[in-house]
């Protein structure tokens, strides 16, 4: 499961498990976090806001695709989308690749605390409507904020349900 550092820390309740940065693009490799005997989280390089050259983003994309390809033990990819912006074209390209590879994924909106209360429902509804047309998408969107931990219990519950469904 792929999650950013601050969300990994919020999920595990350990503020220093994953190193965080305010600069997008700091994660430049796959970082593995073993959580007990049943769960591994993988922090993958971001692609949307990284202030790096295009060739590096393309290399990250190849790395991610190579990792995801044919990985039978992969339960789900949690696709992180900045709640302030919703889907961007680069996000839909990644979702197209996950659909084509039949890799289950679920959208997690980050920075949910940045949205005005009136924007939350419409943002989630719009994303869920788009996901309804995608074969590998899990239909429920989870809104989170690692700043105030809102939505983190929902994400933990989604992971626990997923593990229970897989008999892990």
> Could you tell me which of 147, 60, 136, 162 has the C-alpha nearest to residue 110?
147
Token pair for residue 97?
């690749």
Per-residue pLDDT of the chain in tens (168 residues, 90 and over written 9): 444 456 777 777 766 555 555 555 555 677 788 887 878 888 777 655 556 677 877 787 788 888 887 777 888 988 888 898 888 887 888 888 889 888 899 999 988 888 888 889 999 999 999 999 999 999 999 999 867 888 989 998 998 898 898 876
Token pair for residue 50?
């990284």
Is the pTM higher than 0.85? no
CA distances from 80 to 6, 65, 116, 165 (A): 12, 16, 19, 22
Positive or negative: CA dihedral 110, 114, 117, 118: negative
Q: Which residue has the tokens 């976090």?
A: 33
Question: Is there a contact between 17 and 8 (Cβ–Cβ < 8 Å)?
Answer: yes
């Amino acid at each position: 499961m792929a999650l950013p550092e601050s969300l990994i820390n919020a999920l595990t309740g350990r503020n220093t498990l994953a190193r965080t940065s305010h600069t997008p693009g700091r994660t430049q490799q796959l970082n593995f976090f073993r959580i007990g005997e049943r769960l591994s989280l993988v922090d993958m390089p971001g692609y949307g806001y990284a202030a790096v050259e295009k060739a590096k983003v393309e290399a990250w994309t190849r790395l991610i695709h190579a990792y995801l390809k044919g990985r039978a033990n992969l339960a789900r990819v949690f696709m992180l989308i900045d709640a302030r912006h919703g889907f961007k074209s680069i996000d839909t390209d990644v979702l197209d690749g996950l659909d084509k590879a039949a890799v289950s994924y679920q959208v997690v909106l980050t920075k949910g605390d940045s949205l005005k209360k009136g924007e939350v429902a419409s943002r989630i509804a719009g994303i869920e409507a788009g996901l309804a047309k995608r074969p590998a998408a899990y239909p429920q969107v989870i809104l989170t904020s690692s700043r105030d931990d809102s939505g983190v219990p929902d994400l933990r519950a989604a992971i626990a349900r997923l593990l229970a469904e897989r008999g892990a």
